[in-house]
């Protein structure tokens, strides 16, 4: 199946700091998605990316996928305690592929 | 309220005892899918369905069956569960497949002893 490498695996940051995580794929995709999963819940969509090179924002979140369409990043600015969770990148085709996740811990 | 529901939320069973996990969505979505989530492996797609009576294998279909007789329902069947199927299972739906975001159910934690 499709390989999706997500990094870093985990992050421990102070409240107020900015966060950056990224994802690379072995194939080209035209739709990239970023999800967040809270403990005991299903993933929830944060941002959907449809156009390579275009920056998309959702509040304190910003994401983009590259011109090569094989990589994407997600930035979170001024982190707060409720940002804690696991963040997944995902690729949307007939099949959906998810990265292995980045676990974020925010220290108050 | 638009949602994906799964039942049961928790299930403990024994090896070989057939079980079904139900999934239902009320958003009139064409596409439905099942995933399993294991530590360190992220979410892996088991089966997906582009429409009624159309199902396809995902990355990890072995040991699972699905059916899509109605648009809103997409049950996951384990004919003979084994301990390596102990996992957290999610059902998801989207309006269509390619290019559309998926909405997830709350998850079913299955333990097979």
pLDDT by residue for chain B (113 residues), tens only, comes to 889 999 999 999 999 999 999 999 999 999 999 999 998 888 999 999 999 999 999 999 999 999 999 999 999 999 999 999 999 999 999 988 777 888 999 999 999 99
Residues from chain B that touch A93, judged by Cβ atoms under 8 A, are 97-98
CA distance B92 to chain A (A): 9
Q: Count CB neighbours of A60 within 10 A.
A: 14
Interface contact B100-A92, CB threshold 8 A = yes
Phi, psi of B84 (to 5 degrees): -75, 0
Maximum pairwise Cα distance, chain B: 39
Q: Which of these, A81, A82, A87, lies nearest to A100 by C-alpha position?
A: A87
CA A35 to chain B, closest CA, distance in angstroms equals 10
Query: What's the pLDDT score for residue A40?
Result: 83
What would the DSSP string read from start to end of A20-50? EEEEEESS--S-EEEEEE-TTS--EEEEEE-
Kindly identify which residue of chain A lies nearest to residue B31, measuring between CA atoms: A94
Q: Give the model confidence (pLDDT) of A38-95 as tens digits.
A: 988 899 999 999 888 888 999 999 999 888 888 999 999 999 999 999 999 998 888 8
The full length of chain A comes to 108
Beta carbons of A91 and A31 less than 8 angstroms apart: yes
Angle (CA) A68 A37 A28, round 5°: 15
Best of A42, A43, A92 to substitute, by most chain B Cβ atoms within 10 angstroms, is A42
A92 and B97 within 8 Å at the Cβ level: the answer is: yes
Tell whether omega for the bond before A8 is within 30 degrees of 0, i.e. cis.
Answer: yes
Determine contact: B30 vs chain A, CB below 8 A: no
Tell me whether residues A96 and B90 touch, CB distance under 8 A.
Answer: no
The alpha-carbon gap from B63 to the nearest alpha carbon of chain A, in Å, equals: 18
Q: A102 - beta bridge partners?
A: A87
Give residue A43's pLDDT. 93
Question: Which of B88, B93, B98 best probes binding to A when mutated, by most A CB atoms within 10 angstroms?
Answer: B98
Which chain A residues are closer than 8 Å to B58 by Cβ?
A: 1, 95
Contact B33 A96 (CB under 8 A): yes
């Amino acid at each position: 199946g499709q390989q999706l490498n997500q990094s870093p695996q985990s992050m421990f940051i102070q409240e107020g700091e900015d966060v950056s995580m990224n994802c690379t794929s072995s194939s080209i995709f035209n739709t990239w998605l970023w999800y967040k999963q809270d403990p005991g819940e299903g993933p929830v969509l944060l941002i959907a990316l449809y156009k390579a090179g275009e920056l998309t924002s959702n509040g304190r979140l910003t994401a983009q996928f590259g011109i090569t369409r094989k990589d994407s990043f997600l930035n979170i600015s001024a982190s707060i305690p409720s940002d804690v969770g696991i963040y997944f990148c995902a690729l949307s085709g007939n099949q959906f592929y998810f990265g292995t996740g980045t676990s974020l811990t925010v220290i108050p | 309220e638009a949602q994906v529901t799964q039942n049961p939320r928790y299930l403990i069973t024994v090896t070989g005892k057939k079980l079904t996990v139900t999934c239902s969505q009320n958003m009139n979505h064409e596409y439905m899918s099942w995933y399993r989530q294991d530590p360190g492996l992220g979410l892996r797609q088991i089966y997906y369905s582009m429409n009624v009576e159309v199902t396809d294998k995902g990355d990890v279909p072995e040991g699972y069956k699905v059916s899509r007789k109605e648009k809103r329902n997409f049950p996951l069947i384990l004919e003979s569960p084994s301990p390596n199927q102990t996992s957290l299972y999610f059902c998801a739906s989207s309006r269509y497949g390619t290019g559309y975001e998926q909405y997830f159910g709350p998850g079913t934690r299955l333990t097979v002893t």
